[in-house]
Amino acid sequence: MEINEQTVRALVQRSHRGPKDLTLTTDHHRPTPGPDEYLVRVGVAGVNFADVMQSHGTYGGGPRAPYVAGFEAAGEIVGGGAGVDRPLPVGTHVVGAGRGAFAQYMTMPAAGVLPVPSGWSAAQALGLVLNWATALAALKPLGEIRTGEVVLVHAAAGGVGQAAVRLARHYGARVVATASPAKHDTVTALGADEVLDSRRADLAAEIMRLTGGVDLVLESVGRATFEVSLSVTKPFVGRVVVFGAASGDASLNTYDLVFTHQVQVMGLHIGALATAAPSVYASLLVELETLIADGVYPPGSPQVHPLADGPAVLRDLEAGLTRGKHALDPWR
C-alpha cells in the first residue's frame, strides 16, 4: 500500500507538567515499524486515564518528554516490520495498544493487536484491549467473582468502570458502584444495584449498612477510596484488586494486613499480565470474544473529538468531568 504522508499530525507532550504541555504538531515524521510491529493508519485513538498519568511523568515505564502521546487506537494495518509471526494482511482493521497513538500513524507491537470485531467501526472497538480486558481480568482470573457475591466498583461511570459494572452483573453479582452524583444515572442504567457518591464522608458506613461486607472490590481510585475499600471487604475471604490510583497513591503495610485489614490484595496491570501470564491473557481474549458474540459486550459509543481537543479532553478526564469513553480523530 502506498502511503502519501511522510509527515503527520500528532499530539506531542513537551514536558511532564500535564496536559497543558500537550501540543498539536503537523510535521511529525511518520514512524517506521520495527521488528514484530505493525504500522497502523490510526482511525481513532482512545483516551485513557493512563494518558493523564503519563502527561505528568507518573506512568510506570512511560516515555520521557518530548514524545507523541496516546496508548490506544483502532485503525488499519498499512505495513509491518520484520519477524511478525503469522502476520495479519495489510488492510486488516485492528484495535490495539502501543506508543504514540495520538497521531495519524503509529506502530503497534503485533502481539497486542486484535482484529476489530466483525461489523464494528474503529471507534466502536476502542476499549477492547484496555478497558474491557482490564475489567474482566480484575473480576475473573484475579477476583474470582462468583454468583451472588457483592462487588464494589469505584469510578463506575468511567471507561473501565462501565465495563466492570456490565460484566459483574453478567456474572451474577450484586453491584455496589461509586461515582460522582452527576454520573449516577449512567451507572444505574448499566444495571448497578446501588450507586453511591464516592466523595461522601460516610461511604464505608453506608456500604456496610447496605451489604454487611463486600466480597470483591475493583479499586482504581487510590488515595480517596483505598481505606474505604479495605474496611468494607470481608476479612479473609474478601479480595481487593488494585489497578489504578486516579486520586493519587495510597499505601498499605504489613501491620495493616496483620492487625487491621485481613483481606486479599492483588495488583493488576493488563500489559504486564499479557507479558507475564500469556495463557491467562489468552483466556481473557477468548472470553471477550464470547461476550461480544453473546451481546454482553456491545459495540462501544465513545465521544470522538478532533485531535486538537486532546489537551482539553485530558484535562476533563483528570478533573473527573468525563463519563464513559472518549476518543480523538487524528484526521480532523
Cβ-proximal residue to ligand NAP, closest one: 158
Nearer to ligand NAP, 77 or 207 (CB): 207
Of 72-80, 103-111, 130-138, 299-307, which segment contacts ligand NAP by CB under 6 A? Answer: 130-138
Instruction: Indicate the residue type of 195.
Output: V
Map residues 165-204 to x or -, x wherever contact with ligand NAP holds by CB under 6 A: --------------xx--x--------------x------
A 10 A CB-CB count for 5 gives: 11
Residue 45 is a binding residue for ligand NAP (CB under 6 A): no
Contact 6, 30 (CB under 8 A): yes
> How many chain residues bind ligand NAP (CB under 6 A)?
29
Q: Tell which one of 101, 103, 160, 164 touches ligand NAP (CB under 6 A).
A: 160
Q: How far is the CB of 210 from ligand NAP (least distance, A)?
A: 18
**Cell numbers for 282:** 489468552
CA–CA gap between residue 106 and residue 89 (Å, rounded): 17
Contact present, 125 and 95 (Cβ < 8 Å): yes
- Quote the DSSP letter at residue 20: G
Q: Which is nearer to ligand NAP, 75 or 127 (CB)?
A: 127
Helix (H) or strand (E) holding 185: helix 184-189
Of 167, 181, 180, 259, nearest to 216 (Cα)? 167
Q: In which element (H, E) is residue 279 found?
A: helix 278-293
Least CB distance from residue 150 to ligand NAP, whole Å? 20
Q: Could you say whether residue 139 binds ligand NAP (CB under 6 A)?
A: no
Q: Is 233 in the site for ligand NAP (CB under 6 A)?
A: no
b/e code 256-272 from CB counts within 10 Å (16+ = b): eeeeebebbbeebbbbe
Q: Does 98 bind ligand NAP (CB under 6 A)?
A: no
CA distance 53 to 13: 12
Binding-site string for ligand NAP from residue 258 to residue 297, where x marks contact by CB under 6 A and - marks none:
----------xxx---------------------------
Examine residue 320 and tell whether it contacts ligand NAP (CB under 6 A).
yes
User: Where does this chain bind ligand NAP (CB under 6 A)?
Assistant: 48-50, 130-131, 134, 155, 157-161, 179-180, 183, 198, 220-221, 224, 243-244, 246-247, 268-270, 317, 320, 322
